[in-house]
């Protein structure tokens, strides 16, 4: 079971609650005290889960796929903003607050309005992360487990992606920062440089983590020079194999360039190395580690990439050679079969893209025809060696992802029929019963409006079903993504639900009449099969598949689409 990419689009609200449903009952597990929204990640056969909570509401990656400098903390309650580092006498801060607010802030009296303003503008440029990782406790509650942020300052991003049947979870955590004084070197232009306060990162800039018995250990990078390298752990099998990726090297000319630039004269060395690291200076390669019986982590097996025309070799000529080749592993099964994506190029067409890749016995093998599909990704593999993923092609004038499964033993690839021809569909996970879950577009009846719903697909019966049609008609959730499924058929999903709106301190927001204002919130839920359950007929004139529901606000669409990136985020 594993966490693939989060794709959260906004749908009309359906109804669903923690009562017996038609085919599935729904149990909410996502409400926590630290953040407003939680996103499902993975579930094991015992029903233990890992989820992630949104600290910030802005997109963690910019348009180039590079992490933004800072989150905004607006997804968290009572964010621990450090008031001691804010200069309340500066013109910038004075312009943000009223006289009364300024006086309160100086005295440490921070209400929700003041905290909201300070978070939005972040006058001291305090480091703010994007995510917290949660594990389920024995009583089924969610517990935030700090991965690198031991002081819980929320200045870094921490994600948990998978959990195996032994209860071992894996994920990744970006670096923490500390405020330090720094004086630039004396120059002719600046003979008396001013000492400034700078947020300085710890090295490495990102590390994979393993959580075992509530103890966290980090996964060191094979290549650590000039910044400590980086690792990411995406999945763990019951045999203790960990799939992910990390830094494997660096070009010599890039090494020389960084050594010359990062001399500490104009910025702290760690900041310079951090900036080079997140700008892609390292070689990134798919890796598989073995978790040993004593809890230690062995050296990784490092894989290459598809390369030019699936040769595994980089193209050295003009054109596509300017693009860096890389590979990532998303999942691995007990047999040691790993899957993910890597760079494919066609030098004849001057073409470069990412394509689904199979990693086995030191080889990187293709799964998808690059002449038919413009890009692809393999996101999960079960212990029957059935691989699931998606591939992209132009359908009805737009690029659409289409779900596929690949049988490794027979070398057959199948693209099942989803909701309709131009529906985008992406799987997230497959269990050993060959049941697949993910998300796909549905169409609102009588309109061209598309929404994403969680789906379940059974390979044996070739049935592709909207999970929202398998729930009771009077429940308050809409399943927007099905993120994982265990071998008991239990599904961990991400849902939309109405909740009382809460301010930056976590207090309920009231209207002028004193009534609580409601808003749409994203939370993690567990869908549990109901014995002998049958789908109820909830069809109305308003939707093609589901119960009647209202449209959701554009603001929530922006929030959810921004968190699409979390599953492949680099920090």
Q: Give the separation between CA 539 and CA 535, rounded to whole angstroms.
A: 11
Please give the order of strands across the beta sheet that includes 169-174.
Answer: 158-163, 169-174, 206-212, 215-219
For residues 226 and 252, give the distance between their C-alpha atoms in angstroms, rounded to a whole number: 12
Assess if residue 8 is contained within a domain: no
Q: Using the predicted structure, report yes or no on whether residue 333 has a pLDDT greater than 90.
A: yes
- 11 falls within a domain: no
pLDDT at position 31 over 70: yes
The average confidence (pLDDT) of the chain is 89
Q: Residue 447's pLDDT band (boundaries 50, 70, 90)?
A: confident
Q: Quick one: pLDDT at residue 11?
A: 31
Please report whether residue 96 resides in a domain: no
Give a yes or no: residue 88 inside a domain: no
Is residue 507, in this structure, part of any structural domain at all? yes
CA dist 336 and 54 (Å) reads 33
- Band of the pLDDT at 169, cuts 50, 70, 90? very high
Torsion, Cα 551 556 562 566, to 10 degrees, reads -100
pLDDT band at 236 (very low <50, low <70, confident <90, very high): very high
The neighbouring-strand residues paired with 407 are 386, 412
**Tens digit of each residue's pLDDT (9 = 90 or more) over 454-499:** 999 999 999 999 999 999 988 899 999 999 999 999 999 999 999 9
Q: Is residue 121 part of a domain?
A: no
Does the residue 120 lie in any domain? Answer: no
pLDDT band at 172 (very low <50, low <70, confident <90, very high): very high
Can you tell me the distance from the alpha carbon of 345 to that of 351, in angstroms, rounded to the nearest whole number?
5
Note the pLDDT tens digit of each residue in 269-298. 999 999 888 878 999 999 999 999 999 999
Residue 451 has pLDDT above 90, yes or no: yes
Q: What is the pLDDT, as a whole number, of residue 283?
A: 95
What is the residue range of 355's domain? 24-81+126-568
For residue 67, the model assigns a pLDDT of 59
Which residue is associated with the tokens 């079903």?
465
For residue 566, pLDDT beyond 90: no
The rounded distance, in Å, linking the Cα atoms of 407 and 428 is 17
Say how many domains are in the chain: 1
Say whether pLDDT at 550 is over 50.
no
> What is the C-alpha separation between 436 and 457, in angstroms, rounded?
5
User: What is the pLDDT, as a whole number, of residue 277?
Assistant: 85
Mean pLDDT of 81-97: 94
pLDDT, mean of residues 500-521: 95
pLDDT digits (tens, 9 = 90+) for 99-156: 999 999 999 999 999 999 999 999 999 999 999 999 998 788 899 999 999 999 999 9
94 falls within a domain: no
pLDDT tens, residue by residue, 153-162 = 999 999 999 9
């Amino acid at each position: 079971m594993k966490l693939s990419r989060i794709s959260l689009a906004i749908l009309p609200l359906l109804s669903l609650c923690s009562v017996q449903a038609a085919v599935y009952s729904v149990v909410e597990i996502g409400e926590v005290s630290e953040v407003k929204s939680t996103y499902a990640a993975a579930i094991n056969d015992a029903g233990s889960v890992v989820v992630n909570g949104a600290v910030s509401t802005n997109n963690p990656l910019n348009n180039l796929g590079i992490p933004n400098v800072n989150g905004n903390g607006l997804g968290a309650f009572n964010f621990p903003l450090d008031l001691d580092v804010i200069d309340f006498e500066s013109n910038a801060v004075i312009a943000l607050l009223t006289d009364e607010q300024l006086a309160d802030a100086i005295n440490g009296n921070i209400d929700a309005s003041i905290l909201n303003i300070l978070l939005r503008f972040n006058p001291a440029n305090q480091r703010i992360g994007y995510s917290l990782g949660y594990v389920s406790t024995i009583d089924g509650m969610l517990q935030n487990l700090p991965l690198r942020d031991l002081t819980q300052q929320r200045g870094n991003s921490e994600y948990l992606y998978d959990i195996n049947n032994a209860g071992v979870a894996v994920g990744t955590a970006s670096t923490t920062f500390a405020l330090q004084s720094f004086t630039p070197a004396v120059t002719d232009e600046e003979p008396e440089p001013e000492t400034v306060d700078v947020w300085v990162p710890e090295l490495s800039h990102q590390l994979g983590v393993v959580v075992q018995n509530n103890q966290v250990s980090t996964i060191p990078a094979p290549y650590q020079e000039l910044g400590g390298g980086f690792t990411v752990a995406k999945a763990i099998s019951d045999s203790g194999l960990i799939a992910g990726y990390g830094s494997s090297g660096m070009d010599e000319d890039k090494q020389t360039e960084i050594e010359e630039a990062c001399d500490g004269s104009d910025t702290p060395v760690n900041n310079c190395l951090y900036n080079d690291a997140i700008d892609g200076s390292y070689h990134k390669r798919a890796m598989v580690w073995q978790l040993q019986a004593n809890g230690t982590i062995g050296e990784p097996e490092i894989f290459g990439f598809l390369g030019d025309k699936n040769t595994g070799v980089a193209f050295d000529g003009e054109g596509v050679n300017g693009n860096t080749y890389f590979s990532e592993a998303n999942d691995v099964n007990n047999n040691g079969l790993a899957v993910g994506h890597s760079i494919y190029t066609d030098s004849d067409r001057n073409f470069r893209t990412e394509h689904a890749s199979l990693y086995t016995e030191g080889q990187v093998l293709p799964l998808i025809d690059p002449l038919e599909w413009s890009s692809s990704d393999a996101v999960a593999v079960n212990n029957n060696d059935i691989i699931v993923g998606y591939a992209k092609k132009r359908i009805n004038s737009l690029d659409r992802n289409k779900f596929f499964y690949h049988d490794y033993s027979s070398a057959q690839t199948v693209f099942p029929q989803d909701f309709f021809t131009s529906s985008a569909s992406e799987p997230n996970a497959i269990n050993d019963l060959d049941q697949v879950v993910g998300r796909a577009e549905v169409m609102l009846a009588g309109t061209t409006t598309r929404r994403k719903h969680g789906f379940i697909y059974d390979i044996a019966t070739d049935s592709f079903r909207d999970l929202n049609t398998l729930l009771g008609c009077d429940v308050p959730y809409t399943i927007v993504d099905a993120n994982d499924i265990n071998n008991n058929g239990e599904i961990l999903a991400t849902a939309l639900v109405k909740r009382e709106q809460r301010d930056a301190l976590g207090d309920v927001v009231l209207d002028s009449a004193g009534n609580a204002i409601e808003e749409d919130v994203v939370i993690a839920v567990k869908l549990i099969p109901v014995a002998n359950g049958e789908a109820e007929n909830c069809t109305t004139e308003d939707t093609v598949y589901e119960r009647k529901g209202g449209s959701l606000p554009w603001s929530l669409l922006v929030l959810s689409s921004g968190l699409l990136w979390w599953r492949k985020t680099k920090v």
